[in-house]
Amino acid sequence: MKRGFLTAFFSATIAFAGMAQQAPQLIPQPVSLKTKPGHFVLGRQTTIVVPAGNAEAKKLGDLLAGMLATPVGHTFVVTTVPKQTGAIRLKLNAVRDTVLGEEGYQLKSSAKGIVISANDGKGLFYGIQTLMQLLPPDIEAHKKITGVTWGIPAVDITDYPRFGWRGLMLDVSRHFFPKQVVENYIDEMAKYKLNTFHMHLADDEGWRIEIKSLPELTKVGAWRVMRTGPFGLGPQPAPKPGESATYGGFYTQDDMREMIKYAADRYITIMPEIDVPAHSLALIAAFPNLSCTKLQYPVNPGSPFYMKEDNVLCVANDSTYLILDKIFTEIAQLFPCPYIHVGGDEAYKGFWEKDPKDQALMQREGLKTSAELQSYFEKKVEQIVNSKGKKLIGWDEIVEGGLPPSATVMSWRGIEGGIAAAKQGHQVVMTPWGNTYLDLYQGSPFLEPHTYGQLWLRDCYNYEPVPDSVDAKLILGGQGNLWTESVTDERQVQYMTWPRAMALSEVFWSPKEKGTLGTFIKKVETHFKRLDAANIKYAKSIYDPLVEGVKMPGDTVATRLRLDSQVGNLDIYYTFDTSIPDAFSPKYNGTPVAIPIGAGEIKAITYRNGKPIGREVDILLKDLVKKKD
C-alpha cells in the first residue's frame, strides 16, 4: 500500500512540476494573469458551491458539473452549503465591481480551492470557460479519461472583454447544416468567449427558416437540385428539365427555439439574417411576382447566372413589403436578438433601371441614382423592422445612397464603409473580408480547399477593429464570417473556423496590447491538443510550406523561388527532380533558390526538431502564375 501511495505521490509531483514550468496558455488572453505556487486537484470530494436561492448560478453550476463529469469519470455535487476547502465556488458579488462590468470575472485558484466571482451570470460563465482551459487538454474529451491528474495551477485572474460584440457568422443557406451541427458550433464558440452567432438564413441557394404564414418559402425555397463540389468559383450545372429539387432543408420554428435557448444557456445571442433586396432568388422562386421580371426561377444550385436571372426584389412592388412584413413579423417574434440583419449587399441594379415601375418611383421620389433607390428600399425595410421592436443592421452597401436613420452597419468590403457610418454617428460592427472572412485560403492554395483570396492566422490576429479616425464608442466589436459556397459539411466548417476564430476571439476580447503573434501561435499549438481531445477538425496550415516565384533584375519571368511558412523556426526541404523531399533533401537557407534548367515542378515539406510537421506541397512551376500564396 505504501509503495503504491508513494508512486502516485511522486507521479503527481512530477506532473505538477511540469505544469509549473509553463504559464497557462489561455485564449483569449485575460486582462490580468498572475501565477502562484501550487495546484488544485479535482477529486471525488470536490464540490461545486453556488449561491443559495439563485437559479442562474445553480444552472451554471450544473453546466460546469456536466462539462467535468464525462472526462473526469465521476459526478460532481452542486451544493449551496459553503465548504472551506476543496471546492469550486461560484460567487456573485454583493457589491457590483464596476471594472468587471456585465461579462467580467475574477478567478482565484490555490491548493485549497477555486473561487470564480462576477457581477452577473455572464461573468461566471466566462470564468468557467477559463477554468476549463486551466485543466489538462483531455478535459475536452467526450469519454472518460484515465491516468490524468486533473490539476489546476494556482492563478489570480481578472478579466473582462474589450468589445461587447464578439461574433461568428455561419452561412446555412448555401449548404444546410442540421440543428446538432449548429449546437456543436455554439459549444465551440462559447469556449472562446464569443457571444454573437449570426445565421445567414436566406440567399439564392436556399431559404432556411419556417415562416408559418408563408409555407411556400420552405416548400419551394428550401430545396434545390443536388450538386457536388464548390460553386460560385467553379460553375455547377443548372437544373435539368424535370430534375427533382431534393437537396436542402430548413429549421422549423421549434428547431430554432431550441437552438436559441441552447445558445442563450451559453450566453450567445443568435442574430437572424434575411438577405434583401439581392441574394433573394430562393424567396423569388417561391414568389415570382416579387422580382422585376416576374419570371419563375428555380432555387440556384450554385450555377453562375451573371445577372441573367433576377435575384433582386422589385422596390416599387407593394407586394415586396407585404411579404417582408409577414417575414419580419415572425422573425421578430421568434428571435430575442434586438437586431434583424437585412443583408443589403451586392444588389445588381440593372433590372431596376429597366423596370417602368421602379423608374416611375425614382422620378416621383426625386431619386437620382440606383443607389438612392436602394436607400429608399432600406429605409422602408427599417420602418418594418422597427415596427416589430427590432433594430436594423446591414452590410456596408446600405451606406451608399443614404443610411436609414437608426441603422447599424456591418463593414465587410474593408473598413471604409464602417468609417463612413461611424462619422455619421451610426454604430458599426467591423468585419472586413481581408481580416475576418474564414472561407478564404488559410495557407498555400496548392494545399487548401478551393476558394478565393487569402486570410492567414496572422491576418486575423493582427487586426485592429477601431480605426484612428472614428469614435471608438461607435465600434460595437467584430466577427468572423464563414460563407459556405465551398463548405459542405460539419468537418469542413470546423476546419475553416479553427484556429483562425481563436485569433479573432483574442482580438475582440483581450486588451489592445494583447501580446505578440509568436506568443499567440505557441498558445494555439497547445490548444490543438484540446481540439484533438474534442475530435474537432482544425487546420494546421500554419506549418505548411509556402512557395513564391521571384523575378531577378532584368528577368521577365520568375527564375527563383522563395520558400517560407507562417511559423518561424521550421526547416524546409525541397526537390526539383520529382523525388519525395525529406530531411536528406536540400534545405532552404532563406535565400531564393534558382530554378534548375529543365525543372517542371517543386516539392517541399517542413520539419521541426527533425520530424515532419507540415504537409508536402507539390507544385507544377507553370501553375505558380495561376495561384498566389
CB count in 10 Å sphere of residue 91: 18
User: Catalytic residue at 464?
Assistant: no
Nearest CA to 298 out of 223, 350, 348 is that of: 223
Helix, strand or coil, per DSSP, at residue 376:
helix
DSSP string, 63-77: HHHHHHHHHHTS--E
Nearest CA to 160 out of 601, 508, 607, 589 is that of: 508
User: Distance between CA 539 and CA 448 in Å, rounded?
Assistant: 9
Catalytic annotation, pick one of 138, 159, 188, 203:
203
Catalytic annotation, pick one of 200, 279, 341, 527:
279
603 in Cβ contact with 568 (< 8 Å): no
Non-local CB neighbours of 352 within 8 Å, separated by 6+ positions:
292, 312, 314, 315, 358, 359, 370, 373
150 in Cβ contact with 42 (< 8 Å): yes
Non-local CB neighbours of 49 within 8 Å, separated by 6+ positions:
61, 79, 80, 81, 82, 83, 87, 88, 89, 90
User: Distance between CA 134 and CA 110 in Å, rounded?
Assistant: 12
408 in Cβ contact with 391 (< 8 Å): yes
CB count in 10 Å sphere of residue 56: 16
Give buried/exposed letters for 115-144 (b at 16+ CB in 10 A, else e).
bbbbbbbbbbbbbbbbbbbbbbbbbbbeee
Residue with cell 437544373: 239
Give buried/exposed letters for 432-465 (b at 16+ CB in 10 A, else e).
bbebbbbbbbbbbbbbbbebeebbbbbbbbebeb
Three cell numbers, residue 114: 477555486
User: Catalytic residue at 203?
Assistant: yes
Non-local CB neighbours of 161 within 8 Å, separated by 6+ positions:
103, 104, 193, 508, 509
546 in Cβ contact with 504 (< 8 Å): no
97 in Cβ contact with 112 (< 8 Å): no
Catalytic annotation, pick one of 346, 416, 464, 489:
346
Catalytic residue list = 203, 279, 346
